[in-house]
Structure 1
């Protein structure tokens, strides 16, 4: 059911709470169960509705209605009317098999994608009829009062009624990895979704607890609005689909023109009857239509999908594989994509010195070390105290991973988790420490104080442990711990501390200050103001969301392949630039454009900015969409990565949308064309390499399949120019034998060829480049095809010569004629054996990659030889295909063909490599 329009949740931030209750006709005791039922009927369920999906029947039919498929259907109909039932059945069978296979592959990918879906939280605690109740989150309605606890996903856009130490991870909406503090009192924030008293559906409570009134649910939430924007996007036609359509048009026009030309020549030049001329022309059309194109393209894509799945990349649509290979720009989110989405302490600053922290990620075997030697807890008083405060003034639990391939589970905030891991690296025994110094009192973190304080009891001696933002904590500190001694905090000390913090900030790092105070007396209750004063400053923990270890090599590969990476993140400008420079995406000269600056830019200004080094920070969802759209208007093929709801519109708009499977939201996964099941940016680079390989393999297939067209057409040319004196050296059914029989398996083997050396050192193909280009046509017709045409025509005359026939006595029937056409067919097949091996590489030597390393091609060659033998020696097949057995001398001619052709082509490739090196 469609929801009535409500105001955006942020518009309720400054309205007095009593007025909010009045507007939603509710109170702090909640609504009644009866009223909840009415509202559920009015507003609909609190779920994210999926966009309209095509029926399975329409998806099935789609695979039989492409331009190439239609061309094959028409070819079969023409063959049927020409009285060639076998030809019609063979062509239609190819179309059917290809369509079914393609549908099955895409259906399997869609099922795998659907299995990743996990929508909003299953249950929510609400107040109804004045009682706390556990209800399905889908039944939450506007006006409900519900409870939020640490670790809970938030089920609706809501206004806070009460909150204690609440911090919310809004990275799914904003891309910001650090949780936001939330309070009942309104405070404006930086950017969208930053109101302090509003929480949003799809985000998660990192710590604390709260009560809130539901404002918007389901598709009316900000989460739902972004999902709707995504669903309303039209599906773009992939570059490969466009190119295949273009190729089909080219080939169709070429085949029809040649067919018409030969039809006219057969009637007026050879004086053939119209019916015979039509069948003759049909043979030429069949010769020039690559019937195996669709199955080979489909299989190449499917094999690419399977190889990518093994590398943790799930592709939802087959054509997306090749689109990746054309990518010229990657618009990448930062948090969870380029970085690990987990805060890690990498430095500790103390008045006595700086410490570097070794190891990254959630591991238990790392150590804190100085430049000289490893450090373990118990060897440095100042450092020990900092670690002790960090873990006792802490409400987060880190559960170790159960298996090696799993991440640790955090119950709390990433910042506090980083402190826990820091202590574990120093081998601190946390359970023993907590037992020795139990907590007596806590003053939770809030956004005004920007600090948290706990009081620990050490056998009657009370000590306040404080951690928080440096500016506020330094203001209430009067002492400093320096080499185990406490002394007054001087102005010079303050300047030294602030200078160190500024240097870390310039590197995109975050600091957390630590201090303590020994309380003078034992008392049951303490007031916050009495405790948080006259503190002793201990030091700083310096942390960041670190880049993924494999990201450096992945970025370098992108640069080598002439692929730009543009960071588009909701994080701060300073952090974004620091990460971008650190991992090599940009230089230090890159311009950082914030969301506010982007909003003020005209399209012309944005286009100019996108021509240089650029980073986008603090951007809203619609702005990511605008960046992708502008890049596409500039002729770029854009891949957009992300994991949050805020990324979904850009993912949908991009030529290839890439979502994170582990941390990604369901809206992002639905919008994407590809899902990384390991959230690894390096998998994108591997996928791009696969995409380039698929495109290269399709070109290799085209080269292989087209080079047989010339020897297939040459006999008809001989027939025409002899004005019918020389009988047709090749029949229509024999032409089809090459196209659908002997050529098919080696061609499919080319579709499975591995990446050629150096494929990622080349730029993406030009946007206006075509599969069928001049270089490919020259190789197909002017090199491989010409050689095969000469040899096959020679084979025809050799067979006739062996039989004692002369030009004047050639006949178009009888055993000797069938032997001659069989010789033509066999020569083409043996030329194709050499071509299958030659086409495996463009410039590299086929011996370098291993002459027999592609088992599919070797199997295809064996199959085509066996098929040729069956056509020669099976009486039933002899009758259908007009064939006959060959003599021993003719077999010697055939066996002498492949090796010289391979060696000749190796010489050509050698000179081709030399030209590239010298140029």
Structure 2
């Protein structure tokens, strides 16, 4: 049967029919029957998708396309007679795979530690007696007890209730609590039936008895989890891009190898075996062995930096995906707002007051937190505060933990009133002794009022009433102004209605306050009814409240807009509230279109696609509708990040390119579906994480530019050798080429992977998905600029050494000390020009001196390492023979050390000319 029909069946049937259908009774199940049902229905828990084995998770780090290419290139190196270098390539692969596995495993452990959603115990009626039971053993037909603070363990029908208020934000995304009672009413929005409660939600106030009709995966909570688990996991954009890059580089390497093979055979007249080994060496040389560890290190460093900014990354590739986000679909409650109702205005018939920070009335401003009572001189405010604090069942406990929110036992609405009164110096515990409560008429969804009766003096009682404006004002026939009570005129009632309407347009909730003093003889305290009590009330004023935006959200949204990232609010709250908050925080303008869940349901794919290209807000949406919004955005070509904390957010989190769950308030289903978990539930942390993601991609591209640059001067000597038919002796050997690729280039390249973010990265548009890592800019910079300059200098050094030793009078040396010195200088000039190139690659547009020449210590450690390695290769006898090197003269070293300086200055001049206007 359809899930909605099942809900209606249990909501609309009489309770006797519900008992009959579930084969249960008000005294609950017997232990025997409960055990039988437990075997039939299984444990009351959300089953998590079967996770891949540790071995499979471990091995996948060694079988990516780039990893496979490295395995092959290592094998080629071994076949070409360079066993040591082949093993070195394989070690790079192994170390990288182990590092990736360790990083993701650590993230999963941290995620599992955050997952703590369903309650441990529940009070159940078994064998006619109340027992405490592990919530996992709850079964359909069980009768259980609820009270304030409890998390509801199953979908259930209410049997009895007293002032029951339920927080359903985890399920429907609404910031306000729902009134629940025994009587059925459909309510407004999703899961709003007044006599049903749902698994995973919580009791804000009141008590109840309920009978479970769905547990585990059959609950609404479970159904949404199933919807999430059915979705396939797709490769991240970075994975796809690295696979594409691997194919491109493989084709380039193989093509060059084939050309060199043919040239060696036909131009140099090498025998096939020798030509093949020569060509294999060039293939290995053109494969960037450092790419995979650099990517992994860049991602890992991004993960580490993001963790410091309260973002826990579950998978490394998620870092970069966040960096190319074009649209963020954000929940409202708890993400953009504080998820804490706060008083904003107090209105009395004489004045309107804006509630700010700290404790006295001054020119229409109320500041809370002063030692003296800020309402002492104002009888209207005094009476309003008395009503707000005493006609109230909620208690607020301040926590000792720094920065932690107060613990609320009750509803957020009443908590806001309590906090307002306490910050103003109102001591409820003392006042309640003076005016003890005698009776309560609890809030219900029909009256939309709550009243309490207190002893006022020896002869009189006082009745305090609060509730929705429209339901309180019609019970009032008097009004208090400056402490004086007088009949309420139609104009006064209209003035109050006008203010109430203005507050509603701002997305604020109004709470009307009224009271009445009666003689003791006129009320029988044992026969109190709402009809006889809540009449002839004296209207005092309004308090207005809302869930305020997070203070840092304004700047975060501004930065997103500067970064050309669109933010779309997708919430379960009302249209009016959603738009009010969106406009207030600068998310949209007042012209934004607000689409409700009902409207969304009727829209075609094309209509939704068009709507998503403009300013739009989604309100009162169901879980599958959030999923639909995300999917349509992706079909429009957007990279979508979706945020949320509730069960209702999980399908959209899973479908999005990057799912971001809240760590503090998020459900375990949301956390499981997400790629990133915010440990501080702060939207501003998303912006910081996006910045890191952009930095990661930028760093990978910087590395790629740097590593490809050395391929040009490495290939140029071999090209001269081949084109001259062997007349020009090989200026650089394969072993020297591999020395650069696997030795001197590696550590500076890894240093680039940890480069700090450029200051202008959040003022640029997200990268186009069609713009690949290996784009025209990278090719031009690596091959035609840095690579060409390095090639000319290195070949120039080769001929300069020969020139000093008699060339062209004497033929170019093909062996002996002159040849060794010439090839050593070629290797040296490539290494030292790469020092300049790694510094130049650190920034794309701004000056390296502005960013800080020595700010990236990782690069400088790499530079020191490559100089020392080159020195060792030139002075160590055994290594000299292996790498065709020899001792250099002091003038050679002086030339090499001076070489990076003009190259850095030349690149600075180029950046200044090209980007000075930008």
Per the TM alignment, residue 806 of structure 1 is displaced from its structure 2 partner at its CA by 5.0
Aligned to 1:549: 551
* CA pair 561-66 structure 1, distance change in 2 beyond 3 A: same
Aligned to 2:445: 447
1:136 pairs with 134, 137, 152, which one? 134
Which residue does the alignment assign to 1:476?
A: 475
1:820 alignment counterpart: 822
TM (norm. structure 1) is 0.97
In the alignment, which of 432, 436, 452 is matched to residue 438 of structure 1? 436
Residue number in structure 2 paired with 1:559: 561
The 8 Å contact of residues 356 and 369 in structure 1, kept in 2 or not, is answered as no
**Alpha-carbon shift at residue 458 of structure 1 (Å):** 3.1
Q: Which residue matches 1:525?
A: 526
1:443-473 Cα shifts (integer Å, max 9, x gaps): 1111111111111123433111111111111
1:346 to 333, 344, 347: 344
Q: Aligned to 1:519, what secondary structure does the other structure show?
A: strand
Matched residue, 2:14: 16
Q: Is the 8 A contact 1:642 1:668 kept in 2?
A: yes
Query: Are 2:542 and 1:540 equivalent residues in the alignment?
Result: yes
* Aligned-partner SS, 2:732: coil
Give the Å deviation of 1:7.
Answer: 6.5
Cα distance in 1 for residues equivalent to 2:568 and 2:602: 20
1-structure distance, mates of 2:825, 2:362: 79
Name the CA distance, whole Å, in 2 between partners of 1:526 and 1:429: 31
Q: Structure 1 pair 4/134, CA: closer, same or farther in 2 (3 Å)?
A: farther
Q: How does 1:393-472 map to 2 (within 5 A)?
A: 393-460=391-458, 461-472=460-471
Report deviation, 1:36: 0.6
What pairs with 1:625-640 in structure 2 (closer than 5 Å)?
625-640=627-642
Q: 1:105 is matched with which residue? A: 103
In structure 2, distance between residues paired with 1:450 and 1:157: 25
- Alignment counterpart, residue 227 of structure 1, candidates 225, 228, 237: 225
Question: Bigger CA drift: 489-498 or 897-906?
Answer: 489-498
State the secondary structure of the residue aligned to 2:513. Answer: strand
- 1:146 is paired with a residue whose SS is strand
Residues of 2 paired with 1:302 and 1:164: CA distance?
53
Q: Given the alignment, which residue of 860, 863, 866 partners 1:864? A: 866
- 1: CA distance, partners of 2:240 / 2:594: 35
Residue 852 of structure 2 corresponds to which residue in structure 1?
Answer: 850
> Structure 1, residues 790-827: CA drift from partner, whole Å, max 9, x if none?
11111222233344565854444434332222111111
Q: 1:35 corresponds to which residue?
A: 33
Q: What residue is the counterpart of 1:495 in the other structure?
A: 494
Match of 2:298 among 297, 300, 306: 300
In 1, the alpha carbon distance for the partners of 2:809 and 2:627 equals 71
In 1, the alpha carbon distance for the partners of 2:366 and 2:296 equals: 58
Map residues 548-697 of structure 1 onto 2, 5 A cutoff.
Answer: 548-697=550-699
Contact 1:283/1:731 (CA < 8 Å) preserved in 2? no
Equivalent residue of 1:13, what SS?
A: helix
Cα distance in 2 between the residues matched to 1:559 and 1:5: 41
Deviations 1:248-288 (A, max 9, x none): 11111011001001101100111011121112112221221
Instruction: State the alpha-carbon separation in 1 of the partners of residues 675 and 809 from structure 2.
Output: 62
* Structure 1 residue 64 displacement after superposition: 0.8
- In the other structure, the counterpart of 2:899 is 897
Query: After the TM superposition, which of the residue ranges 370-379 and 864-873 deviates more from structure 2?
Result: 370-379
* Residue 159, structure 1, aligned to residue 160, structure 2: no
1:736 aligns with 2:735: no
The CA deviation string for residues 459-496 of structure 1, in whole angstroms up to 9 with x for no partner, is: 43311111111111111111111111000111111111
In 1, Cα distance between the equivalents of 2:746 and 2:65? 20
Q: Equivalents in 2 of 1:110, 1:421: separation in Å? A: 39
Alpha-carbon distance, 1:722 to partner: 1.5
- Give the 5 Å matches for 1:209-220: 209-220=207-218
- CA-to-aligned-CA distance 1:722-742 (integer Å, 9 cap, x gap): 111222111112111111111
* Equivalent position SS for 2:12: coil
In 2, Cα distance between equivalents of 1:366 and 1:705: 63
Change (3 A) 1:552 1:244: same
Partner of 1:371: 364
Measured in 2, the distance between the counterparts of 1:498 and 1:228 equals 47
* 1:260 equivalenced with 2:254 (yes/no): no
- Which residue of structure 2 aligns with residue 72 of structure 1? 70
Larger deviation: 62-71 or 517-526? 517-526
The separation in 1 between residues aligned to 2:882 and 2:428, in whole angstroms, is: 84
Change (3 A) 1:807 1:380: farther
Whether 2:115 is the aligned partner of 1:117: answer yes
CA distance in 1 between partners of 2:6 and 2:361 (Å): 47
* Distance change (3 Å), C-alpha of 1:550 and 1:102: same
Q: 1:798: which partner in 2? A: 800
Bigger CA drift: 754-763 or 889-898? 889-898
Offset, 1:890: 1.6
Q: Is the 8 A contact 1:729 1:796 kept in 2?
A: yes
Q: Deviations over 1:330-388 (max 9, x none)?
A: 001000110001100000010011011003xxxxx566654367571422111011011
Which position in structure 2 is the counterpart of 1:837? 839
TM-score relative to the length of structure 2: 0.97
How far apart, in 2, do the equivalents of 1:873 and 1:7 lie?
84
Instruction: Please name the residue that 1:758 is paired with.
Output: 760
Task: Kindly report the root-mean-square deviation, in angstroms, between the aligned alpha carbons of the 2 structures.
Answer: 1.6
Q: Which residue of 1 aligns with 2:328?
A: 330
What residue number does 1:362 align with?
Answer: none
Q: SS state of the match for residue 487, structure 1?
A: strand
